[in-house]
Amino acid sequence: MVTRPKKILCVDDDVLNIRLLEGILAGEGYGIMSARDGETALRILEEGDIDLVLLDVVMPSMDGFEVCRRIKNDERLRHIPVVMLTALTARTDRIMGIRAGAEDFIHKPFYEEEVLARVRMLLKMKELNDRLTGAYDTITHILAYGKKTMEEFNPLHFNFSATLEAMIGSLLNRSCGSRSAPRAIFIGTHQSKNRWSCRLYRERTAPPDAWVQSFPAGAIDSVAPSDTLPVYYGNSLSDASSEISATLEAIGEKMGEIRNFVLSRGDDLCVCALNYDNMVSSFEASVLNSLAVQVLFLNNLSRQTRETGEAFAYTIHALARAAELHDQNTGNHTIRVGEYCAALARGLGIPEHQAEALRQHAQLHDVGKIYVPAHILRKQGELSRDEHSYIEQHPVLGAQIIGGHPRFAMAKSIALHHHEHWDGSGYPFRIKGEAIPLDARITAIADVYDALRNQRSYKSAFDHDTACRIIMEGNERTSPEHFDPVLLQVFNKISPQFAEIYEKLHN
């Protein structure tokens, strides 16, 4: 690890005093900067990364008390320790220095041992304070990111990988140049048995290395109760206890050299920060613990969102299957219509998450047929006018079944409008053009294509080419004017995908 030498600013109008201080301090490896007046000192402080100020009290123009006050009143500089160098011995002078914010005093003439002892002590205090402040700021950043995630949380569009990448990326980029920051962060989330989904995020690198790995038994398992997240840290692999050495070896196969580490893990999660520039300590462990808790929360949220989504999809599928109970020769019709709709949506350039939502919701387009008597749905031959009227009620009935929950808004729109025609000749409301919702216009083409491909009481099944020709050119029942012309062009372009979907799902 390469560490920057501590930088000390010596401020004194007497060049001999500055030379004396430089002689004492340079031998200890400190970086020395000097100024002979207060204005110059303040300018150097604003421009440079100074760790300590040795400040003479009696100077022309601006005395040491005023310089010290300005340092301590500046939010950017107040953390820098100030040692006042003075030949003044009066109690009032010491009180003025304390009120100005000085951390310590060295009386002139000063002695080498005293100067070095006080400098070492104050630099150590500053380093601890800097690390504490850095840890606090980073933890605050992590918590703020978690709060922002929850404020913007949308269960329909939550993406664990993208959210995690953004959080880790912001943390690494925010810490660039900080000595108390890792060069890489490893995240492992449990999938099943010994299989873990692994991501390795590196400083200034995106996206992360991602892989699925079967770790040896015990290599990454929890070593503590599941309701805790123990943290381990060390400044070399030799510091790793037997409980975590296998974990670090597995990570090292992807990471390469591991100089130091901070690691936290539980039953379903392993978080490891690697290769800090400084020695790691309890400060870095506290930061990693906060990060691990946030990642664990996001992982649990992702799992619950996924389980809720799966339950939602199952509910849609079950309800759609119920609608097909009395329909003849339409096996998998609702599933195919959903797949056709997703293909059309992608062809139109609709985002993937919206295409996937359309795939699910379109399966409920005929749910209103639950209310249509079975003898009508199963009747051979032409339907009577009254029977047609009954059939034409199923869009409204479907919307009533689906109800008003926001999660089912798209399904309701599709169920209600998928039999409307672009030219206004459809039902139940005879609306036309773009007054028909886009999701319903997409479903209309998908539904007609699948109906043409399957045998019905009033027709035989058509092959793919015939079904496409009827949609594009029309016949006695179907007209191209029934459909959105833009969607017709998309359908014509991607129709081979419809054939593939039908062949895959027609049984």
Distance from C-alpha of 281 to C-alpha of 231, rounded to nearest angstrom: 11
What pLDDT is recorded for position 327? Answer: 65
Bridge-based pairing of strands 184-192 and 104-107 is unpaired
Question: Does residue 297 sit in the same domain as residue 330?
Answer: no
Inside any domain, residue 135: no
Residue 178 is predicted with a pLDDT of 58
Q: Do 169 and 108 belong together in one domain?
A: no
3-state secondary structure of 384: coil
> In the chain, helix, strand, coil percent, each to 5?
55, 15, 35
What CATH number should be reported for the domain holding residue 20? Answer: 3.40.50.2300
Token output for 368: 């209103």
Q: In terms of Cα–Cα distance, which of 379, 277, 367 is closest to 316?
A: 367
Reply yes or no: is the peptide bond before residue 373 cis, omega within 30 of 0: no
Cis status of the peptide bond prior to 155, with omega within 30 of 0: no
253 part of a folded domain = yes
| Same-domain pairing of 364 and 479 | yes
Any domain includes 489: yes
Cβ(365)–Cβ(447) below 8 Å: yes
| Number of folded domains that form the chain | 3
Q: For residue 336, is it within any domain?
A: yes
Q: Reply yes or no: is the peptide bond before residue 485 cis, omega within 30 of 0.
A: no
Of the candidates 312, 239, 226, 211, the one whose C-alpha atom is nearest the C-alpha of residue 267 is 226
What is the chain's pLDDT, residue by residue, as a tens digit (507 residues)?
456 789 999 999 999 999 999 999 988 889 999 999 999 999 999 987 899 999 999 898 899 999 999 999 998 899 999 999 887 767 787 888 889 999 999 888 888 899 999 999 999 999 888 888 888 888 888 888 888 888 888 887 788 888 888 888 888 876 554 556 888 999 998 888 778 889 999 876 667 888 887 765 555 544 444 445 788 999 988 888 887 888 888 888 888 889 999 999 888 889 999 999 888 988 899 999 999 999 989 988 888 888 888 898 898 988 888 887 766 555 689 999 999 999 999 999 999 989 999 999 999 999 999 988 888 877 777 888 888 888 889 999 999 999 999 999 999 999 999 999 999 999 999 999 999 999 999 999 999 999 999 887 667 899 999 999 999 999 998 999 999 999 999 999 999 999 999 999 987
Q: What is the 3 state secondary structure string of 14-64?
A: CHHHHHHHHHHHHCCCCEEEEECCHHHHHHHHHHCCCCEEEEECCCCCCCH
Q: What 3-state DSSP class applies to 406?
A: helix
Tokens 């501590």 correspond to what residue?
A: 6
pLDDT of residue 79: 92
Q: How many CB atoms lie within 10 A of CB 8?
A: 25
Nearest residue to 41 (alpha-carbon basis) of 15, 68, 21, 16: 68
Which pLDDT score, from 0 to 100, does residue 26 have? 85
DSSP string, 469-491: HHHHH--SS--GGGS-HHHHHHH
In a domain, 38, yes or no: yes
pLDDT at 224: 42
Q: pLDDT value at position 223?
A: 42
Mark whether 89 and 162 lie in a shared domain. no
pLDDT of res. 225:
40
Same domain, 172 and 286: yes
CATH at residue 441? 1.10.3210.10
52-56 and 82-86 as β-strands: parallel, antiparallel, unpaired? parallel
Q: Is residue 145 part of a domain?
A: no
| Residues found in the chain | 507
What confidence score (pLDDT) does residue 336 get? 95
Pairwise CA distance, residues 240 & 220, whole Å = 14
Residue 335, domain member (yes or no): yes
- Three-state DSSP at 401 gives helix
Domain that holds residue 226: 153-301
Predicted TM-score (pTM) of this structure: 0.69
Q: Strand 231-234: give its sheet, edge to edge.
A: 209-214, 195-202, 184-192, 269-274, 261-265, 231-234
Give the CATH number of the domain where residue 259 resides: 3.30.450.40
Tell me the CA distances in angstroms from 25 to 10, 49, 112, 113, 343, one per residue in order: 10, 17, 9, 11, 73
Backbone Cα Rg of the chain: 36
**Based on the domain organization, do 452 and 339 belong to the same domain?**
yes
DSSP E strands, 269-368: 269-274
Please give the pLDDT value at position 464: 97
Same domain, 52 and 176: no
Q: SS3 letters for 128-140? A: HHHHHHHHHHHHH
Instruction: Please tell me the predicted confidence (pLDDT) of residue 215.
Output: 62
Contact 286, 331 (CB under 8 A): no
Q: Which of 270, 261, 222, 226 is nearest to 243 (CA)?
A: 222
In a domain, 477, yes or no: yes
Residue type, 328: Q
Q: Are 481 and 422 in contact (CB under 8 A)?
A: yes
Cross-strand pairs, 10: 34, 54
Tokens at 465, concatenated:
């080419």
User: 3-state class of 116 per DSSP?
Assistant: helix
Measure the CA–CA gap between 194 and 70, rounded to whole angstroms: 59
3-state secondary structure of 234: strand
